[in-house]
Amino acid sequence: MTETIPTWGAWGDDVRDAPSAHFAAMRAACPVHHVRLGDGHEARLVVGHAAARQALKDPRLSKDMLAALDADPDVVDEGLPGPAFARHMLAVDPPDHTRLRSTVASAFAPSRMAALRPRIEALADELLDDLARSGPVVDLVAGFAAPFPFRVIGELLGVPAGDQQMLYRAFRTLLQPWNGAPPQRAVDASASIVGYLEQLVDAHVAEQADDLVDVLLGATATGDRLTRQEMLSSLFQLIVAGHDTTTSLIGNGVVALLDHPEQLALVRHDPALADAAVEEIIRFDAPVPHATFRVATEPLELDGVEVPAGQQMLVCIGGANRDPAVRDDPDRFDVRRATRSHLGFGHGIHFCLGAPLARLEGRVAFTALLRHFPQLGLAVPRDELQWSHGDGLVLRGLAALPVRLWPAT
């Protein structure tokens, strides 16, 4: 009998906007499924917490995209800007992963993040002050959730203020979803980003600065020896991971808090709960619902399910984080929950290097937002919100979030 392979990711609006029940049904049936992705590729989908935790740290699941494409050109779509930009720490295995990760690790040390906090708080206040002048009804994504983390990562990388808006628009265009071949606007945006990053590196070669680009250049000049392509790939990945996921964290978090007014009241009256709220938001409504590309280099078993060699693996973090096997009442949103054990930042050697920055930005964003606008509310009916930004698999966020900053008079 021919196996019927369910399609995962080619969802209607109902599943895309509220996927947790869909994840739960798959998880209850089996921790690992054989699925066909929306782009036509087959994969093994991991939805159980135990299997996900194992998969995220199993060295037999390779993240080396170039090696996987060499072995099977049809294993995954290359995407933009193409495989030449898959030479960053999220797309390689040790020893290259170890070398690339160690190069940038110091830039995300907790002590450095603490030193950045005053500037990050100032950026949040500047954007929220601008938002207030545009009110009372605004798009919180366009006015705050998207530009805030982009400005932070832009400053961390030394992108001049005059260039940030152009680069921001190019990345927002590139990261919009599409079906089939990429549209010309995405191709053009990709070319603009690649050209700008090349110029940015060249400018730093000519004149040093105290930023992350110089950290990478310093490694190039030492025994670590990053190639130029590794440097450009790393910059591209840092910008994407450094802003788009946090944009979705802020948007998803605002909706979760507004959906649960008693939890919103707790955070508003006790800003110290902001740290726990960020963790619970990531667990409850993951801005990164699935981990990035992995492929099995040899046959293996995950939680009793066999996985063949050469199979693409998709780890559903959003499903694993609501697994009742590891979490009491997992579908309840509770900002007082102890949730640092969630898989929202990954697990194992690929645990998110930027987690301290994301946590800091989330804490600052929610604290500042509720301080500036304590009566914040949705400006449209709840069922009109659409989670259409991102590809729905690795990235999931709101393209727009209309809110009322203060009640109508």
- What is the three-class DSSP state of 25? helix
- What is the three-class DSSP state of 44? strand
DSSP state for residue 171 in the 8-state scheme: H
Q: Tell me which of 108 and 274 has the higher pLDDT.
A: 274
Measure the CA–CA gap between 409 and 26, rounded to whole angstroms.
47
What does the pLDDT look like over 178-200, one tens digit per residue? 777 889 999 999 999 999 999 99
What does the pLDDT look like over 334-351, one tens digit per residue? 999 876 679 999 999 999
Measure the CA–CA gap between 152 and 242, rounded to whole angstroms.
8
Percent of the chain residues past pLDDT 90, beyond the cut: 66
Residue 250's closest CA among 392, 397, 172, 145?
Answer: 145
When pLDDT is cut at 50, 70 and 90, the band that residue 1 belongs to is very low
* Strand order across the 32-37 sheet: 7-8, 32-37, 42-46, 312-315, 294-296, 61-62
Domains of the chain with bracketed CATH? 7-404 (1.10.630.10)
User: Is residue 78 predicted with pLDDT exceeding 90?
Assistant: no
Q: Tell me which of 205 and 32 has the higher pLDDT.
A: 32
User: Is residue 224 predicted with pLDDT exceeding 70?
Assistant: no
Q: What mean pLDDT comes out for the span 127-150?
A: 96
Q: What mean pLDDT comes out for the span 383-390?
A: 82
Cβ count within 10 A of residue 181: 9
Q: Which residues pair with 307 in a beta bridge?
A: 300
Q: What mean pLDDT comes out for the span 355-370?
A: 96
Distance set, CA 265 to CA 65, 256, 257, 258, 374 (Å): 45, 12, 9, 10, 9
- What is the three-class DSSP state of 307? strand
pLDDT for 379 equals 97
pLDDT for 111 equals 81
Q: How much is the pTM?
A: 0.94
DSSP string spanning 127-160? HHHHHHHH-SEEEHIIIIITHHHHHHHHHHTT--
pLDDT for 20 equals 93
Q: Tell me which of 75 and 354 has the higher pLDDT.
A: 354
Residue 277's closest CA among 340, 327, 320, 323?
Answer: 340
The CA-to-CA distance between both ends of the chain, in Å, stands at: 66
Q: Tell me which of 268 and 180 has the higher pLDDT.
A: 268
Residue 336's closest CA among 409, 283, 291, 378?
Answer: 283
Mean pLDDT for all residues in the chain: 90
Measure the CA–CA gap between 315 and 45, rounded to whole angstroms.
6
Cβ-contact 397, 247 below 8 angstroms: yes
What does the pLDDT look like over 306-332, one tens digit per residue? 999 999 999 999 999 999 999 899 999
Of the given ranges (2-16, 28-42, 304-318, 372-386), which has the lowest mean pLDDT? 2-16
User: Is residue 222 predicted with pLDDT exceeding 60?
Assistant: no
Cβ-contact 238, 149 below 8 angstroms: no
